[in-house]
Each structure stands twice: as structure tokens, then as C-alpha cells.
Amino acid sequence: MKKLILPVVTVLLGTGAAFGTQAAKSTSARVAVNAYRIDALTGACVDAQQQCETSGTAPCVWSGDGGTHLVEKISDNPTMCGQELFFKP
């Protein structure tokens, strides 16, 4: 009986750890960040005063016009915008 309990406990602990690691990875992939829009005249990143997420399926759009896709600011350079952001459910 003792020879059976130790392997079963080991397998259960390993399975629990694997699920815990996967859950931590999936929640950390969605990060809320400040969103920026690219100004059509100057090409500068302008603060959209919205929060969007770094991953998802539906693009995050500016509430000012409902169509401008928002991006992440990656640099202090005013014309350096980053990746497209996604709608925050």
C-alpha cells in the first residue's frame, strides 16, 4: 500500500504544478497598458487616455472617432509607436 501512495502523490503534485504554471502564463499574457493613437498630421504618438490590452482578438479603437486603432508607446521619441493594442473585455 505504501508503495502505491508515494507515486500517486507525486503524480498529483506534478499535475497540479503544471496546471498552476499554465494558469499563471495565460493571465500574465493579458496586460493592460496606456493606449496611444498616431496623429495623422504629425505622425506623433498622442495619449488616447484609454487603457487597452497587449493581446486579444478585437483591435482597441479610440473612443474619439471610433475607428482609429490604438497602439502602445515604446519610446520617448514622439514618433515611435509600438504594437497594435486590443479591446479590454
* pLDDT tier for residue 16 given thresholds of 50, 70 and 90: low
78/44 same-domain check: yes
39/77 same-domain check: yes
**Residue 36: which of 65, 67, 66, 61 has the closest Cα?**
61
pLDDT digits (tens, 9 = 90+) for 41-70: 998 999 999 999 999 999 999 998 988 999
Total-model pTM: 0.63
DSSP reduced 3-state for 75 = coil
Contact 60, 31 (CB under 8 A): no
70/50 same-domain check: yes
24/66 same-domain check: no
Contact 34, 73 (CB under 8 A): yes
3/43 same-domain check: no
pLDDT digits (tens, 9 = 90+) for 64-87: 898 899 999 988 888 888 899 999
